Amino acid sequence: MKGVAVGDLFIPKERMAELFGNEKVREFVSEISMVEFRCKDRDEIRRKMRNIEANGPDAEPAPSDLRRLLKEADILAVHLCPVPRSILEHAHKLRVVCTARGGVDNIDMAALNERRIPVINTPHHNTNAVAEYVVGLMIAETRNIARSHSALKSGTWREQYPNTECIPELSGSKIGILGFGQIGRAVVKKLQPFDVEILVCDPYVNTHTVEELGYRSVDLETLLSKSDIISLHVRLTESTRGMIGERELRSMKQSSYIINTARAGLIDIDALVHALKENWISGAAIDVFEEEPAPKDHPLFALDNVTVTNHRAGDTRNAYWTAPVLMGEQLALFLHGQKPQFIANPEVLEPT
96-111 residue pLDDT tens: 999 999 889 999 999 9
**Choice among 216, 292, 298, 312 that is catalytic:** 292
Active site residue 292: yes
34/51 Cα distance (integer angstroms): 24
Residue spans of the chain under pLDDT 70: none
**Choice among 68, 85, 143, 263 that is catalytic:** 263
Cβ of 270: how many Cβ atoms within 10 Å? 12
Cα distances (angstroms) measured from residue 162 to each of 77, 224, 262, 281, 286: 48, 21, 25, 11, 17
43/242 Cα distance (integer angstroms): 29
Q: Where are the beta strands (DSSP E) in the chain?
A: 2-7, 31-36, 75-78, 96-99, 119-120, 174-178, 197-201, 216-217, 229-232, 257-260, 283-286, 306-308
**Choice among 50, 67, 143, 311 that is catalytic:** 311
In sequence order, the 6+-apart residues with CB closer than 8 A to the CB of 146 are 140, 307
Q: Which domains does the chain have, with CATH numbers?
A: 2-125+316-349 (3.40.50.720), 127-308 (3.40.50.720)
Per residue in 139-187, pLDDT (tens digit) is: 999 999 999 999 999 999 999 999 999 999 999 999 999 999 999 999 9
110/101 Cα distance (integer angstroms): 18
Active site residue 311: yes
Per residue in 315-337, pLDDT (tens digit) is: 999 999 999 999 999 999 999 99
What pLDDT sits at residue 351? 83
What percent of the chain lies above the pLDDT cut of 90? Answer: 96
Closest Cα partner for 136 from 229, 24, 35? 229
Active site residue 116: no
253 and 174 in contact (C-beta within 8 Å)? no
